[in-house]
Amino acid sequence: MEGLLRRVFRQLRQGVNSILEKEISRNEFFILKSLHCDGTLKSSDLSKKLDVSASHITSMADSLVGKGLIERSRAESDRRIIHIGITDAGTKKLMELEKKKTDYLFERFGSLNQEELQTFVHLFKKIDKDFE
Protein backbone atom coordinates (compact mmCIF):
# COMPACT_ATOMS: atom_id res chain seq x y z
CA MET A 1 0.00 0.00 0.00
CA GLU A 2 2.81 2.39 0.88
CA GLY A 3 4.50 1.89 -2.48
CA LEU A 4 1.23 2.44 -4.34
CA LEU A 5 0.48 5.68 -2.47
CA ARG A 6 4.02 6.94 -3.02
CA ARG A 7 3.86 6.17 -6.76
CA VAL A 8 0.43 7.78 -7.28
CA PHE A 9 1.32 10.93 -5.32
CA ARG A 10 4.69 11.23 -7.07
CA GLN A 11 3.01 10.99 -10.49
CA LEU A 12 0.37 13.57 -9.53
CA ARG A 13 2.99 15.93 -8.09
CA GLN A 14 5.17 15.60 -11.20
CA GLY A 15 2.18 16.28 -13.45
CA VAL A 16 1.12 19.36 -11.51
CA ASN A 17 4.72 20.61 -11.35
CA SER A 18 5.10 20.23 -15.11
CA ILE A 19 2.00 22.40 -15.61
CA LEU A 20 3.19 25.09 -13.21
CA GLU A 21 6.84 25.18 -14.16
CA LYS A 22 6.07 26.02 -17.77
CA GLU A 23 5.20 29.48 -16.43
CA ILE A 24 6.41 29.93 -12.84
CA SER A 25 8.17 27.80 -10.24
CA ARG A 26 6.21 25.75 -7.75
CA ASN A 27 7.38 28.01 -4.90
CA GLU A 28 6.35 31.13 -6.83
CA PHE A 29 2.93 29.54 -7.27
CA PHE A 30 2.65 29.03 -3.50
CA ILE A 31 3.56 32.68 -2.91
CA LEU A 32 0.82 33.82 -5.31
CA LYS A 33 -1.68 31.46 -3.69
CA SER A 34 -0.80 32.66 -0.17
CA LEU A 35 -1.07 36.31 -1.14
CA HIS A 36 -4.36 35.71 -2.94
CA CYS A 37 -5.86 33.90 0.07
CA ASP A 38 -4.36 36.00 2.88
CA GLY A 39 -3.95 39.39 1.24
CA THR A 40 -0.84 41.54 1.55
CA LEU A 41 1.72 40.02 3.92
CA LYS A 42 4.98 41.11 5.47
CA SER A 43 7.93 39.40 3.85
CA SER A 44 8.82 37.80 7.20
CA ASP A 45 5.27 36.44 7.67
CA LEU A 46 5.30 34.95 4.19
CA SER A 47 8.65 33.32 4.97
CA LYS A 48 7.20 31.72 8.12
CA LYS A 49 3.97 30.67 6.41
CA LEU A 50 5.81 28.90 3.59
CA ASP A 51 8.58 27.65 5.90
CA VAL A 52 11.40 29.03 3.76
CA SER A 53 14.23 31.43 4.51
CA ALA A 54 13.82 35.19 4.19
CA SER A 55 16.49 35.22 1.48
CA HIS A 56 14.50 32.63 -0.50
CA ILE A 57 11.39 34.84 -0.29
CA THR A 58 13.48 37.79 -1.47
CA SER A 59 14.77 35.83 -4.46
CA MET A 60 11.32 34.55 -5.46
CA ALA A 61 9.78 37.97 -4.88
CA ASP A 62 12.39 39.54 -7.18
CA SER A 63 11.33 37.13 -9.91
CA LEU A 64 7.60 37.68 -9.37
CA VAL A 65 8.01 41.47 -9.26
CA GLY A 66 9.92 41.26 -12.53
CA LYS A 67 7.00 39.34 -14.06
CA GLY A 68 4.53 41.92 -12.74
CA LEU A 69 2.72 39.32 -10.60
CA ILE A 70 3.39 40.84 -7.17
CA GLU A 71 4.41 44.22 -5.81
CA ARG A 72 6.48 45.22 -2.80
CA SER A 73 6.08 48.25 -0.60
CA ARG A 74 7.76 49.47 2.56
CA ALA A 75 5.74 50.10 5.69
CA GLU A 76 5.45 53.80 6.46
CA SER A 77 5.81 53.19 10.20
CA ASP A 78 9.02 51.16 9.83
CA ARG A 79 10.88 51.28 6.52
CA ARG A 80 12.61 47.97 7.33
CA ILE A 81 9.29 46.13 6.97
CA ILE A 82 8.44 45.05 3.44
CA HIS A 83 4.87 44.23 2.45
CA ILE A 84 4.19 41.95 -0.50
CA GLY A 85 0.88 41.95 -2.35
CA ILE A 86 -0.47 40.22 -5.43
CA THR A 87 -1.23 42.33 -8.51
CA ASP A 88 -4.24 41.97 -10.80
CA ALA A 89 -1.93 40.23 -13.29
CA GLY A 90 -0.80 37.90 -10.49
CA THR A 91 -4.39 37.04 -9.61
CA LYS A 92 -5.15 36.39 -13.27
CA LYS A 93 -2.08 34.14 -13.64
CA LEU A 94 -2.99 32.25 -10.45
CA MET A 95 -6.53 31.63 -11.71
CA GLU A 96 -5.18 30.39 -15.06
CA LEU A 97 -2.80 28.00 -13.34
CA GLU A 98 -5.46 26.79 -10.89
CA LYS A 99 -7.73 25.98 -13.84
CA LYS A 100 -4.94 24.09 -15.62
CA LYS A 101 -4.23 22.20 -12.40
CA THR A 102 -7.91 21.33 -11.92
CA ASP A 103 -8.25 20.23 -15.54
CA TYR A 104 -5.18 18.01 -15.15
CA LEU A 105 -6.57 16.37 -12.00
CA PHE A 106 -9.96 15.74 -13.61
CA GLU A 107 -8.15 14.22 -16.59
CA ARG A 108 -6.05 11.96 -14.33
CA PHE A 109 -9.14 10.78 -12.44
CA GLY A 110 -11.22 10.50 -15.62
CA SER A 111 -11.36 6.72 -15.37
CA LEU A 112 -13.48 7.03 -12.20
CA ASN A 113 -17.23 7.40 -12.53
CA GLN A 114 -19.04 10.05 -10.47
CA GLU A 115 -19.82 7.69 -7.60
CA GLU A 116 -16.23 6.42 -7.41
CA LEU A 117 -14.90 9.98 -7.47
CA GLN A 118 -17.26 11.02 -4.65
CA THR A 119 -16.17 7.98 -2.62
CA PHE A 120 -12.52 8.81 -3.28
CA VAL A 121 -12.97 12.41 -2.12
CA HIS A 122 -14.97 11.28 0.93
CA LEU A 123 -12.21 8.85 1.95
CA PHE A 124 -9.48 11.46 1.55
CA LYS A 125 -11.46 13.95 3.64
CA LYS A 126 -11.87 11.29 6.31
CA ILE A 127 -8.14 10.52 6.29
CA ASP A 128 -7.31 14.24 6.35
CA LYS A 129 -9.58 14.74 9.36
CA ASP A 130 -7.79 11.90 11.19
CA PHE A 131 -4.49 13.79 10.81
CA GLU A 132 -5.85 16.92 12.54
The full DSSP string for 40-95 is SEEHHHHHHHHT--HHHHHHHHHHHHHTTSEEEEE-SS-TT-EEEEE-HHHHHHHH
Between 1.10.540.10, 1.10.10.10, 3.20.20.70, 3.40.50.300, what CATH number should domain 2-131 receive? 1.10.10.10
Q: What is the mean pLDDT of residues 11-36?
A: 91
pLDDT in tens, 77-122: 888 888 999 999 999 999 999 999 999 998 998 899 999 989 988 9
- How much is the pLDDT for 80? 84
pTM: 0.81
* Residues 101, 16 contacting (CB under 8 angstroms): yes
- How much is the pLDDT for 49? 93
Q: What is the mean pLDDT of residues 12-28?
A: 88
